[in-house]
Amino acid sequence: MPEKVLPRDFLWGFATASYQIEGAPYEDGRADSIWDTFCRIPGKIAGAENGDVACDSYHRYKEDVALLKQCRARAYRFSLSWSRIIPLGGRNDPINEKGLQYYIDLVDELLKNDIVPMVTLFHWDLPDNLDKRYGGLLNKKEFVADYEHYSRVVFKALGDKVKYWITFNEPWCSSILGYNTGLFAPGHTSDRSKSAVGDSSREPWQVGHNLLVAHGAAVKVYREEFKPKQGGQIGITLNGDWVEPWDPEDPADVEACERKLEFSIAWFSDPIYHGDYPASMRKQLGDRLPKWDPEDIALVKGSNDFYGMNHYCANYIKHKNTEAEPDDFIGNLESLMENKKGESIGPETQSVWLRPNALGFRKLLKWISDRNGRPTIYVTENGTSLKGENDMSMEEILKDDFRAWYFKTYIEAMVDASSKDNVDVRGYMAWSLMDNFEWAEGYETRFGVTYVDYTNGQKRVPKKSAKEIGDYFAAVIKD
Ligand code: PNW
């Protein structure tokens, strides 16, 4: 481990998301989100699973906080279920006090244990009624107004106690997986064998645009109505993987790497930090990429108090010599696990898209920092699944050396970015506090530092990695 170089108040802990852990979908007045309805469509989720019980955190939040305490966590990032708080979702719909109370209780329990809450307003679980009422994320005017209202309700109820706010988790996933590939709710895609509705060539770009405007609108509400009194910070969380050229000798592959980062990350960060979409996207997508209205971009530009960064892995990038397909969303290139020499970017995990490469984390931190004028960065997710974990014996599962190794090397890479590359990183949330509902992969894929026994009352048992993360941070944070 490197020396003690991270600031004393470095905020580290663990992350989760509402639909992945809470369960209790019909309790105390909650209504469906698009994930509840998506899970009911046959074939969408591995094992036909859903979040009906998940980790049962709606009833076991005190156990979750005890677990955080046991892991020595300083912070906990969790998300709110909008349809628990405003079941029908809209600005003229009733507020569900019982749903709100759950989050007040959770925050109080965290504060009682000296754990800093970091709250995500939206981690993909849109109230289903808004999708049915007006097309959900596709409808800019209605969605932005309803999200703004929802955010105000939340700031008002929790803002005295919560100082870190994240407007949206991974808008890339909502846009691309929700409206291009259709792998995530609401499952829109041009592929008519998968969905009756959708236009993969246009909808994702409109949805991404609408999410950015909604983010900007909520930030304005926070800064004008709450921040002066409450003094917290607000930002958006963007996902993104690192890229290496398939053939480092080929300038076209090197260029394609930059384009991949622009299509997946700068799509959202450029409007926020620079006031427009990347030129490479405009060039390929033409009028399918929305133009910025002056009043919308005024909301979006400069709207981050901090940059929330989710990061998992890296890929090799190979350019293509053909014209881009209309449905292409990565910049007309191939994203591969092996380079020209046949070397793998990293070891396999349970997730087909995830192969660890810790140096890529350091490089991406620097890329984000350099491109955006050295923003304050909070790493809001980082973690790994483990190949075949679900089929291992209990003893093997609890000895998750691979996950512990992942965290150690990734934390070291972050420390290097901070101490050697002048990156301003102030926090790190490991994904995830516990095994949970891994979206389309159901419960087969585990990301937790804590084992959850789904057949035994959702019993939680910390794995080796849960204990070791605290040691890694103790070694690198100044006394
Ligand atoms: C993140 N991909 O999602 C989410 O924020 C978490 O809710 C999720 O559990 C975690 O990563 C692990 O998957 C992603 O296909 C899901 O590239 C899929 C991808 C990226 C991020």
pLDDT of residue 3: 85
Q: Is the CB of 17 under 6 A from ligand 1?
A: yes
Q: Which residues are within 8 A (CB) of 14 and not within 5 positions of it... i.e. 6 or more apart?
A: 68, 71, 73, 76, 77, 429, 430, 431, 432, 433, 449
Distance between CA atoms of 23 and 339, rounded to whole angstroms? 42
* Ligand 1 atom index nearest CA of 241: 17
Q: Which residue lies with its CA nearest to atom 16 of ligand 1?
A: 173
- pLDDT tens for the chain, 479 residues long, are 568 999 999 999 999 999 999 999 999 999 999 999 999 999 999 999 999 999 999 999 999 999 999 999 999 999 999 999 999 999 999 999 999 999 999 999 999 999 999 999 999 999 999 999 999 999 999 999 999 999 999 999 999 999 999 999 999 999 999 999 999 999 999 999 999 999 999 999 999 999 999 999 999 999 999 999 999 999 999 999 999 999 999 999 999 999 999 999 999 999 999 999 999 999 999 999 999 999 999 999 999 999 999 999 999 999 999 999 999 999 999 999 999 999 999 999 999 999 999 999 999 999 999 999 999 999 999 999 999 999 999 999 999 999 999 999 999 999 999 999 999 999 999 999 999 999 999 999 999 999 999 999 999 999 999 999 999 999 999 99
HSE-up of 234 (CA within 13 Å, CB side)? 25
CATH number 3.20.20.80 is the correct assignment for the domain at 11-476? yes
Which among 263, 256, 353 is positioned nearest to 311, based on CA atoms? 353
Residue 266 in contact with ligand 1 by CB distance below 6 A: no
Residue 350: CB within 6 Å of ligand 1? Answer: no
415 close to 6: Cβ distance less than 8 angstroms: yes
* 437 Cβ below 6 A of ligand 1: no
Tell me how far apart the alpha carbons of residues 120 and 18 are, in angstroms, rounded to a whole number.
9
Q: What pLDDT is stored for residue 53 in this prediction?
A: 98
Please give the Cα distance from 305 to 231 (Å, whole number): 11
- Annotation marks residue 381 as catalytic: yes
pLDDT of residue 1: 53
With the most atoms of ligand 1 within 8 angstroms of its CB, the residue from 238, 381, 434, 438 to mutate is 381
Residue identifier of the C-alpha nearest atom 14 of ligand 1: 173
Question: What DSSP string runs through 287-320?
Answer: GGSPPPPHHHHHHHTT--SEEEEE---EEEEEE-
Query: In testing the pocket of ligand 1, which one of 22, 55, 173 has its CB within 8 Å of the most ligand atoms?
Result: 173
Tell me the C-alpha distance between 57 and 22, whole Å. 4
Determine whether the shortest distance from the Cβ of 441 to ligand 1 is under 6 A.
Answer: no
Centroid of ligand 1 to alpha carbon of 228 (angstroms): 34
Check if 438 has its Cβ closer than 6 Å to any atom of ligand 1: yes
127-165 burial, b for 16+ CB within 10 Å, e for fewer? bbbbbebebbbbbbebbbebbbbbbbebbebbbeebebb
* Catalytic one of 109, 142, 381, 412: 381
334 labelled catalytic: no
Q: Which of 22, 170, 244, 441 is catalytic?
A: 170
Q: Give me the helices (H) in 22-139, please.
A: 34-39, 57-70, 82-85, 97-112, 128-134
Question: Is ligand 1 within 6 A of the CB of residue 244?
Answer: no
* Beta carbons within 10 angstroms of residue 390's beta carbon: 15
CA of 465 to the centre of ligand 1 (A): 20
**What DSSP designation does 344 have?**
B
Nearest CA to ligand 1 atom 2: 353
How many whole angstroms from 219 Cα to the centroid of ligand 1? Answer: 24
**Per-residue pLDDT, 2:** 61
